[in-house]
Amino acid sequence: MNKNDIPSNKHLGSLCKRGHDWEGTGKSLRRKLSYNCIECEKERWKTPEYQQKKQSYREKNRAAINIKRNNYRKTVESKREGYLEQKREDNRKYKKGTSGKAAYKRQSKRSCTELRDSYIKGLLARQINTTRKCIPVLLVEAKRAELKLYRSIREARHAEE
């Protein structure tokens, strides 16, 4: 038996009057707040006296119970509605920012300026008329170096003008 096996709101206490032994430890599993034995509580809940007491409480306090139930439902529904509205708003923002030609242009411009492998492989595949998978890594690195050199020369010319 491990201490981690005991639920967080319960603890092992002295053996109860009815002798409910928890997993052969010689102790009873009890609630932390009330110190009641869990097994004794389960037995008590099944008794006809307890069931009658519970039924009479419900009958006396039906209006208050219904008010609490309705308030709970309203709060849950409003939280759910707020969550769904937030999710809809996030979806709208996502669709606005990533859909259409503008997103494609942003993505392609970023891969051009950063000289990503996918961009370079696409250039080489069009030049030598093959698929991207067939292009070796060394060829990609050589093309990247060539493009960097070409860009630096172009920037130097613009700086002179």
* Higher-pLDDT residue of 33, 103: 33
Which tokens hold the place of 53? 């007491």
Query: What digits encode the pLDDT tens for the residues 87-138?
Result: 888 777 766 655 555 555 655 655 566 788 888 888 898 888 888 888 888 9
Please give the pLDDT value at position 109.
58
Distance CA 99, CA 17 (A): 70
pTM of the complete model: 0.37
In the chain, count of helices (H) and strands (E)? 6, 2
Structure confidence at residue 52 (pLDDT): 92
37-52 residue pLDDT tens: 989 988 888 999 999 9
